[in-house]
Amino acid sequence: MNDHTPKKQERSYPILDLHDTFLRRTSLNNTNLENANLSGADFSFADFRGANMKNTNLAGTILIGADLRGVLNLTTKQIAEAVIDEKTILPIEIVKVT
């Protein structure tokens, strides 16, 4: 018996590619950023409250003054790869390393 059912295409990642963009003071709260590429982007003073950052690429991402309270699936490794300052608000489970 021949199965002519079309195969389900797999989604290629990253879902969202915002690398090297300038998005200061942007509100991305409660956004699903899983597998997104934000590397090298400027998100100074952006609002990420409640966003999902599972496997989000933050290498070189500028998060100066950004609000990351309640961000889901954010790791210390991701924060270590980003640019933060004393005004960056991190989730309570992430310890700011200076």
> What does pTM read for this prediction?
0.83
Cα dihedral 30, 34, 37, 39 sign: positive
| Tens digits of pLDDT across the chain (98 residues) | 555 655 666 655 558 999 999 999 999 999 999 999 999 999 999 999 999 999 999 999 999 999 999 999 999 999 999 999 999 999 998 876 65
Tell me the two tokens of residue 17: 């590619």
Domains of the chain: 14-93 (2.160.20.80)
**Does residue 91 have a cis peptide bond before it, meaning omega lies within 30 degrees of 0?**
no
